[in-house]
Amino acid sequence: FYSKDMILEVVMISNINMFSFFLYFFSTGLTVCYSFRLVYYSMTGELNCSSLNMLNDEGWIMLRGMMGLLIMSIIGGSMLNWLIFPVPVMICLPVMMKLLTLFVCIMGGMLGYMISLSKLYSLNKSLNNYNLTYYLGSMWFMPYISTYGLIFYPLNYGQIVVKSFDQGWSEYFGGQHLYQKLTNYSQTLLIMHNNNLKIYLLLFVFWILILFNFLLFM
């Protein structure tokens, strides 16, 4: 969070309005919140629902990459600051404003921890009124006018055309079927060409047998 701390301090000394100032710190708190929830769910806490798959981090291929990302995320901000900017940046702020970033991070972590402790099924009260929730969550009647209602019939007719023409009798009697038959005949002729000596000897044996039978019955 080195670069985040620097960004927030630059924001505090900048001439911005109160709404932008609030959005910067609010987004920082939410970032810490979901980061803490990710750490809680993946490393320490228990899942609040039935697990379907095994969750583990035993692959060293992934762990080596994650360790590299961890190191670069910690020291990458300071290194870029030292390499890009020619002179060190001196930011002079009161103690309360200096501690505001730390306070926002702590509050975001506490919020993520409290959300992690809550049960998932307690947040799904909207399933009790599923129809109302679906109606209010789907922009009311707008999808049926703008998207679903306009695109349903062309897609339905397109499916009929594909089944009837592109993959139907015209495809069977058309070029694809003819190409398949010619390919099969070519493969048969290729096999006969590669085994022409065997076929000649086999026909010669058949001819000898027929001649022998003819002389025998004479």
Contact partners, residue 71, CB within 8 Å, separation at least 6: none
pLDDT digit string, tens, across residues 133-182:
677 666 666 666 666 667 778 888 887 777 776 666 666 666 677 788 88
Same domain, 117 and 16: yes
Same domain, 8 and 110: yes
Q: Domain containing 193: what range?
A: 142-217
Residue 179 within any structural domain of the chain: yes
Same domain, 19 and 102: yes
Same domain, 8 and 97: yes
Whether the pLDDT of residue 207 is over 80: the answer is yes
Q: In which band, very low, low, confident or very high, does the pLDDT at 54 lie, cut at 50, 70 and 90? A: low
pLDDT digit string, tens, across residues 73-130:
777 777 777 777 666 667 788 888 888 888 988 898 888 888 777 665 555 565 677 7
pLDDT number for residue 101: 85
| Burial status of residue 35 (CB atoms within 10 A of its CB: 0-12, 13-18, 19 or more) | middle
Domains in the chain: how many in total? Answer: 2
pLDDT number for residue 4: 72
Same domain, 117 and 157: no
Same domain, 14 and 116: yes
pLDDT number for residue 76: 76
Share of residues in the chain with pLDDT > 90 (%): 0
What average pLDDT does the segment 29-57 reach? Answer: 69
What average pLDDT does the segment 20-29 reach? Answer: 89
Residue 133 within any structural domain of the chain: no
Residue 148 within any structural domain of the chain: yes
pLDDT number for residue 198: 79
